[in-house]
Amino acid sequence: MINVKNISKSFGNVSALHNVSFEVDEGELFGVIGPDGAGKSTLFRIIISLLLPDAGTISLWGKSPVTDYRDIRRMVGYMPGRFSLYEDLSVEENINFFAAVFGTTLQENYELVKDIYQQIEPFKKRPAGKLSGGMKQKLALSCALIHKPRFLVLDEPTTGVDAISRSEFWEMLQKLTGAGITILVSTPYMDEASLCNRVALIQKGEILDVASPRQIVEGFKGLLFGVSGGNMYHLIRQCRTFEKVASVYPFGEELHLTFQDGYDYSSELSDYLKKNGHPDAIIKRINPNIEDRFMALMHTEQDTS
């Protein structure tokens, strides 16, 4: 079990983390969800003993990354956000190197990495630097797993990877939790949050909420509306000038909007938009998702700060 309690970290005058607390259960796929610059990478580096916190404590199965870092590094498999393997070494050479570092071999733990490694094995003689993004991702995961870690830490593993490779990667993570590995993964993609058992939403170094994806969405208060039609830039500007709008932000091909006090002023807004150059604007009630909940929490934080 992983226990993160009141972790804070600053770099000069910049506060990267502030009183961050959460727990990860044994065998759980736990996601830390937030935009770039939210503090995810700093948090992960502290958890795996690569950075020291300014305040707070962390326990990984009773061991501290500060005092028991040698034990921690043997039990953890780490995949940083940026591809960090040896690009001039082949796929096979990278695997063998990381296995040797931990005193094991590919053959010894082949069953654990088989489903992943078999996809890149036909290219085992190819230099890692010449692999596609998805293949690099699979190689990095194989190297992180080669010593059979108890705890797998993945820092934005799908950033810059195509949609198909992202989907395949998350399928692999689901299988690994089935094998008893506890996984902590960060991502800026809100849609990936629904694939975790539980998630922590983080923004500007602070945890906004920790719950299952379903519970996160259920925490959305009030009514949510989708607005579409016409020039999106002009449409969002007009919506923001309507005094009863509480929040509005772009979401794909439409805007997501809430009204003050959670009421339904959609008819009034429709009339307002028609009078201001948007006769084709369509406003409809929609169901919130995790990103909508995240935006609502950010809006609440701004109001109380």
The yes/no answer on whether domain 2-217 falls in CATH 2.30.140.10 is no
* Range of weakest confidence among 113-122, 212-221, 279-288: 113-122
Torsion, CA 49, CA 50, CA 54, CA 60, rounded to 10 = -20
The mean pLDDT value for 183-202 works out to 93
* Residue 300: pLDDT over 80: no
- DSSP-assigned beta bridge partners for residue 210: 200
CA dist 35 and 2 (Å) reads: 23
Residue 4: alpha-carbon gap to chain centroid? 17
Is the fold of 2-217 the same as that of 221-287? no
Identify which of 21, 5, 25, 139 has the alpha carbon closest to the alpha carbon of residue 79: 139
pLDDT attached to residue 200: 97
What are the residue boundaries of the structural domains of the chain, listed by start? 2-217, 221-287
The mean pLDDT value for 281-287 works out to 96
CATH code of the region 221-287 = 3.30.70.100
pTM for the predicted model, two decimal places: 0.90
pLDDT in tens, 204-258: 999 999 999 999 999 999 999 999 998 899 999 999 999 999 999 999 899 999 9
* Residue 126: pLDDT over 70: yes
Identify the residue whose tokens are 């500060």: 66
- Model confidence at 190, pLDDT cuts 50, 70, 90, reads confident
- Angular region, 248: left φ>0, alpha ψ -120 to 50, beta rest: beta
pLDDT attached to residue 30: 98
